[in-house]
Amino acid sequence: MRKILVLSYFFPPCPLTASNRIHGIVANFHKFGFYPIVVTRHWNQQNDTPNAFLQSTSNTIEHKIGDGYEVYYLPYKSSLRDQCVIKSQQNKWLAIVSKVLTFIQLITEPFTNHFVPFSNLYYFSKDYLLKNKEVKHVFISANPFVQFKFGYLLAKKLSIHWIADYRDSWTTNKMATEVRPFNRYLYKYYRYFEKKWVNSASFFTSVSDSYVKQIEGILDVKGHTIYNGFTSIQNSTEFSQTKEFNILYAGTLYYNQPIEAFILFLKKQKFEVSNTKVILHFAGLGSDPAQKSRVLNAAKGFETNLVIYEWLNRDQYIQIQNNADLLIMLPYVGFQGIPSSKLFEYISTSKNILFFGSDNDVIERILVASKLGFVATSEMELFQYIERLILAKSSNNSFLNRDLLNVQDFSINFQTKILAELILKHA
């Protein structure tokens, strides 16, 4: 069995979505001839707020053996910038200082690891590879994208084969520049380093065909699509036991997703089936003041049908998801190739999925191919679909029409198989 070093800032027990992809790959690698050694940071602090991850952890290295892999958890020492971010909510001056220190870190990290609080991931990996000559491959999942510099340095100093795994398209991410205009200048600055670092990789992977095409446009190295995938089909019921009909939108809501149109539709439609009340839930939206305000403005007069949750831990989210009768997705208007990590989270449930709108792209293709979701492009289609779901719930009937064979094509197990074959081919 070939050993492969996997370097990733995110990894369980980190509850963030970013850790799901790399954990799924690592947990399945051994089925296809690879034994992963994961290098990540400690995640042993209380995960009850977003800023909790910036706090210092245990100062010891923890080594754990998993089923078909092993993990080295390294200490994370909170930087001055981290400490300012943690305290910035209580002190506006520290908020300004934290932004200045963030800028300094972003500008200097291509040249020095001094301001990178997780640079120990690189130094530990280098020492490990020097002591374990039989490890010939390194897989690096980003962001943070400065980890690609670690791959470049390892290849330069140790002649190691490495693979760059993009969870988004980094400097070619057009939507990120729309959300934060400063990114336009930052990405121009980082474009040089992206080319320098990633061109030393054997190949790169990303989460959609469109992302791969965008990244290939600036690099001299081949890219391949590896979907995020789902781990397993959950055993939750299709419909909840509540009297209401619960619709859930999970995770981040972006400015170009047409949530107003969906809320307006729910406000003006009357679903007469069994006098069922329709409740629209937003999981985690409360931590984004701008998007929360946008939803509340659209939902005026509809407040009793609206529930917005603040920051949720994993167990809380799973409970809300299990109580949902319908999971909703929205297109990213004006942008292509964004698969959304929630797509595969949704697929793993025994729930109906609605895609309101059309992107003629990755989300629609996957939902149609797997027969797991319904694409509604008009209010009439939307009304008929939801009304049929409400009737099915009130009659205790199933509405799902799964194609289990095609569903498995989108599992992380199948995606890891593709990745393993690519590594062997390039090696």
Render each residue's pLDDT in the chain as its tens digit; 427 residues. Answer: 999 999 999 999 988 888 989 999 999 999 999 999 999 999 875 655 667 788 888 899 999 999 999 999 999 998 888 888 888 777 788 888 889 999 999 999 999 998 899 999 999 999 999 999 999 999 999 999 999 999 999 999 998 999 999 998 999 988 777 777 888 889 999 999 999 999 999 999 999 888 999 999 999 999 999 999 888 777 667 888 888 899 999 988 888 888 999 998 888 776 655 577 899 999 988 778 889 999 999 999 888 899 998 877 777 888 888 889 999 999 888 777 677 778 888 888 878 899 988 767 778 888 877 777 888 888 888 888 888 888 888 888 777 766 665 677 888 999 999 999 999 998 7
| Same domain for 418 and 401 | no
Are 183 and 293 contained in the same domain? no
All residues at 6 or more sequence positions from 405 whose CB lies less than 8 Å from its CB, including other chains: none
Which pair of structure tokens corresponds to residue 6?
């996997």
Enumerate residues 6+ apart whose C-beta is below 8 A from 244: 276, 277, 278, 279
Residue-number span of the structural domain to which 264 is assigned: 245-408
Do 160 and 32 lie in a common domain? yes
Indicate the number of domains in the chain. Answer: 2
> Do 165 and 295 have their domain in common?
no
Q: Are residues 416 and 404 in the same domain?
A: no
Residues 392 and 317 in one domain: yes
The verdict on residue 270 lying in a domain is yes
Residues 361 and 262 in one domain: yes
134 shares its domain with 217: yes
Residues in the chain: 427
| CATH number for 394 | 3.40.50.2000
The residues pairing with 39 across neighbouring beta strands, listed in sequence order, are: 7, 72
Please state whether the peptide bond connecting residue 144 to the residue before it is cis, i.e. omega within 30 degrees of 0. Answer: yes
The reply to whether 128 and 57 lie within a common domain is yes
- The burial class, CB within 10 Å (0-12 / 13-18 / 19+), for 380 is exposed
Asked if the structure places residue 357 within a domain, the reply is: yes
The DSSP code sequence of 114-174 is TT-TTTHHHHHHHHHHHH-TT--EEEEEESSTTHHHHHHHHHHHH--EEEEEESS-GGG-H
Assess if residue 85 is contained within a domain: no
Q: What is the largest CA-CA distance in the chain?
A: 69
Q: Are residues 274 and 400 in the same domain?
A: yes
- In a domain? residue 102: no
What residues does 40 pair with on adjacent strands?
73
Do 121 and 199 sit in the same domain of this protein?
yes
Note the pTM of the prediction, 2 decimals: 0.87
For residues 160 and 154, give the distance between their C-alpha atoms in angstroms, rounded to a whole number: 6
